[in-house]
Amino acid sequence: MFERPDSGERAVLVQLDLNQGALDERLSELKLLTLSAGASVEAVVGGRRARPDPALFAGRGKVEEIAETLRAYEADFVIFNHTLSPAQQRNLERALQCRVVDRTALILDIFAQRARSHEGKLQVELAQLDHLSTRLVRGWTHLERQKGGIGLRGPGETQLETDRRLLGKRVKLLKERLAQIEKQRRVRRRGREGRNVLSVSLVGYTNAGKSTLFNSLTKAGAYAADQLFATLDTTSRRLYVGEGGNVVLSDTVGFIRDLPHSLVAAFHSTLEETATADLLLHVVDTASEDREAQIEAVNRVLTEIGAGDVPQIMVMNKIDLTRVEPAVQRDDYGKIVRVFLSARTGEGLGLLRDALAEVACAVTAAPEAPFGVSPNLSDIGPIQT
């Protein structure tokens, strides 16, 4: 049995080997996601399949094993570390007689808990409604058709159709409000561009230490915690870097492998801050055994949001856990590609400030020329820990 929060529901986790690789890392990440959502992990059910079962995803025999595990541990619900179709989720809930949550719904739930700003809450709600829209039938099976009678006579519209219509109106309203916020952000961004200030965004896998680094550099006091998706709202602060003058540093939402597309779409305006940055500081947890896969996952999301070509400096964080000395690595052309530091202890922060000053001076000297190119990760070699 695993750690149990003081309060919350009890979950049974299901992860099947579908030849996607990195099973241990994926399972460890699912446990962290579950704990971050406020539930406890009671047991894990594994298995191997060549492909998902169309009706139950896991197959009838495996579903029976899950049901037995639920009863043995008196768990409340099941979490699949996979994306389930609406039909698969509905069939599983009927077979298991409990709530079934897939990876997408779990991440959406965590986002809903973490959202603090008005914009963040709107973005999360939009993503949740997008996910819910294909699953509405699940909640209305007992109201397939409105029956006649006092107070129930109407235009003949099914409850499901009514709900979809109301949901569509809410989605339209949310998109209009987010479009207005995005327009205001563009105005602020043009103001910064007019002052020729270097725009730098922190990106990286969730829990890599972005907010801790942001606070260490700017003393902003942004929320930072050892949990997944501690930061959802973009926070920007002006940072003085000596000869380079001032730069604008932005802390952004962390990424994760298989990030739900509905979240990427809903957070478009927030993530656009990353795509329009002059430089990305790609924060990497050097203490993670899965760091190379995390780097690839972040770069895939960056490509998806149109930020794949934005220059990067990789910030190799948490060297206090790997006993690596603070250092700066350059490529064959003298461009900075990596800075090794610890955001928690402050080791190497001066090297990062110097790197930002160097970039800012280069951009100021030749504002029409982009700074360097994104490093080719295959040329850099593995991280030595």
Q: Model-level pTM? A: 0.73
Q: What is the pLDDT of residues 80-134, one digit of tens each?
A: 999 999 999 999 999 999 999 999 889 888 888 877 778 778 888 888 888 877 7
SS3 content of the chain, % helix, strand, coil (to 5): 45, 20, 35
pLDDT > 70: percent of the chain: 77
Within the chain, which residues score under 50 in pLDDT?
1-7, 138-154, 369-385
Q: How far apart are the first and last CA of the chain?
A: 31
Alpha-carbon distances of 102 from 84, 88, 217, rounded to whole Å: 6, 10, 37
Q: What is the pLDDT of residues 335-349, one digit of tens each?
A: 999 999 999 999 999
Q: Which pLDDT belongs to residue 321?
A: 94
Q: Which pLDDT belongs to residue 188?
A: 66
Q: Which pLDDT belongs to residue 52?
A: 93
Q: Which pLDDT belongs to residue 343?
A: 95
CB atoms closer than 10 angstroms to residue 316: 24
Radius of gyration of the chain (CA): 23
**Looking up tokens 């099947």, which residue turns up?**
16
Q: Which pLDDT belongs to residue 375?
A: 38
Q: Which pLDDT belongs to residue 12?
A: 96
Q: Which pLDDT belongs to residue 10?
A: 94
